[in-house]
A and B are shown apart, each in its own frame.
Chain A
């Protein structure tokens, strides 16, 4: 009795967790750049109840002992990085990545007092995040300045290694037209002055995901490398699409004027929802049945 009741309730709890995850996926079916979560089940640790030697009778097939199992549980949540479809918005600051790549972003680590934490070389410590793109915006460097930084919607500046070899934000002069080519090079055109050549202001810092299982979700469609990863270079590999060998072997393109939509497939999610619901129902029936057995045992006498 107790085994059945514990078994069924553990399994229902696992199904509930899966249901929560499916609901989260469905809620994010229209979120730009959302990557769906996946979860599978495993059976819980099994105990082998010993049987005495005399129990062994001819015709027995399995080794001595009866296995007693305790239901099913969920295994870890995995993020599925399948490419989402691209939507044409024609906004010059919308970018989408096609292929296995992410843009690297940095955020200054701040102490509890809000001041930036400094490393050994006196430079601020930076947290690395990765994103699949989205709508970018221009943030003025200082009020009244003619230049702006290129940043994500939540304010992370796009930094890359500039011509002097330093990690610095990409500067865009205001009133210039921004063009980002398929290799991620950011150029600005001054349409007001004729014959002025476009200037390359920088390149999007692209990284290829090598070990997707070691990326954690950091909220706001950002990802970060899990603490359990030993070598960060193994998880995300920096790539330069301007190198012809890289561009030939890896199928990655930067698309300006597009945004990547959520990769949630409603049909799949609904099918799994139905399967989870039916499994929940069956487990509840097993629980009710076990409860009935308990009732019978309790009413054995009077």
Chain B
């Protein structure tokens, strides 16, 4: 068989997959907290080509025999904020800077727009990103940027899917039995704390809207959100419904963001999807045309083979 036929077929599959990924980006243009995914293509490993000429096969060069989509790379740029004025809507604004020590001085690593930077040793490093920490039904830790929360029937702070939000004390946040700390005796302590009464500060701690006093849970600990810092966000696996997970979290478990000044939680705002619609449409058209080009190649190979089969050696 002509080697190029399979190369062209691999091009068809790769462009198909690229088209699928771009369609998903476009589909999630209005999904809050969605991070755009870029399909990364890679050519097959090179082969050495040699002349078939008896014993001394003379090398004439290298050839790649195709392309495949290697990975779907998420892009963690900050999405725009939209004001919704709902108390249960939170948005993370994250710009975590990393500094390293060079000759006794702390030097900041510059990151480009896609979050990639190079440190002094020449290694590629990625900008850490901040996420809300969730606990799903199976009790596993998940991360998300979608900040739409509500209080369920049991008084727990949950996402719209029912996953519980984890607080700074590593426990699910519950308003069951919560109270306002330090209220003067002549002011009535509310029986139930509703989300409208809760003000979330820029560092994730919760206060009463009217008095500004901290809200404490049933055990007396102040309620605050746990914002996890994921050092290499490319290792996150997207599960759908806005949740990310980390496989092998023991290697580098995400901790609470150490420098809370570098992130900010905005209440009453939602982070929009960071999908660039124009670019996605252009890439979609490009993928379609590339698919067409590969299709033509397959058709040409088909015609060549037809000649080889039917016409060569015809008597």
Contact = CB atoms under 8 A, between A and B. Distances in A.
Contacts of A286: 22-23, 26-27, 284
A43 interface: yes
A289 B24 contact: no
A146 to B, nearest CB: 41
B221 interface: no
B281 A293 contact: no
Contacts of B24: 7, 43, 69-71
A234 B302 CA distance: 72
B49 interface: no
B235 interface: yes
B302 A62 contact: no
Contacts of B126: 61
**Chain B: number of interface residues, binned into ranges:** 35 or more
Nearest to B239: A46
A249 B188 contact: yes
Nearest to B35: A43
Interface string B39-72: 0001001000000000000000000000011111
Contacts of A41: 28, 30-32
A135 interface: no
B20 interface: yes
Interface string B161-191: 1000000000000000000000000111011
Nearest to B15: A293
Contacts of A285: 26, 281, 284
A45 B288 contact: no
B187 A279 contact: no
B29 interface: yes
A300 B31 contact: no
A43 B70 contact: no
Interface stretch (A105-113, A159-167, A208-216): A208-216
A229 B150 CA distance: 13
Interface string B293-315: 00100110010000000000000
A68 to B, nearest CB: 7
A285 B74 CA distance: 23
A69 B240 contact: yes
Contact of A4 (B23, B28, B73, B210): B23
Interface in A202-234: 208-214, 226, 228-231, 233-234
Interface stretch (B98-106, B128-136, B152-160, B253-261): B152-160
A139 B191 CA distance: 36
Most buried by A among B71, B84, B235, B247: B71
A55 B270 CA distance: 38
Interface string B224-253: 000000000011011111100001000000
Nearest to B22: A286
Contacts of B207: none
A88 interface: no
A297 interface: yes
Contacts of B150: 78, 213
Given A55-B70, A245-B188, A296-B291, A63 B151 contact: no
B187 A248 contact: yes
Contact of B288 (A65, A212, A226, A289): A289
A8 B27 contact: yes
Given A1-B16, A213-B150, A66 B72 contact: yes
B90 interface: no
A89 B187 CA distance: 36
B26 A211 contact: no
16 contacts: A4-B19, A4-B20, A7-B20, A41-B31, A43-B31, A45-B241, A46-B238, A66-B69, A76-B160, A229-B153, A231-B153, A246-B188, A248-B188, A276-B30, A286-B23, A297-B295
Interface of A: 1, 3-4, 7-8, 10-11, 15, 38, 40-46, 48, 55, 57, 60-63, 65-72, 75-76, 78, 80, 82, 100, 208-214, 226, 228-231, 233-234, 237, 245-246, 248-249, 275-276, 279, 282-283, 285-286, 289-290, 292-293, 296-297, 300-301
Given A237-B190, A300-B302, 17 more contacts: A7-B24, A44-B241, A55-B68, A63-B237, A72-B27, A75-B160, A100-B196, A212-B195, A226-B153, A230-B153, A245-B188, A246-B188, A249-B187, A283-B27, A289-B19, A293-B291, A300-B298
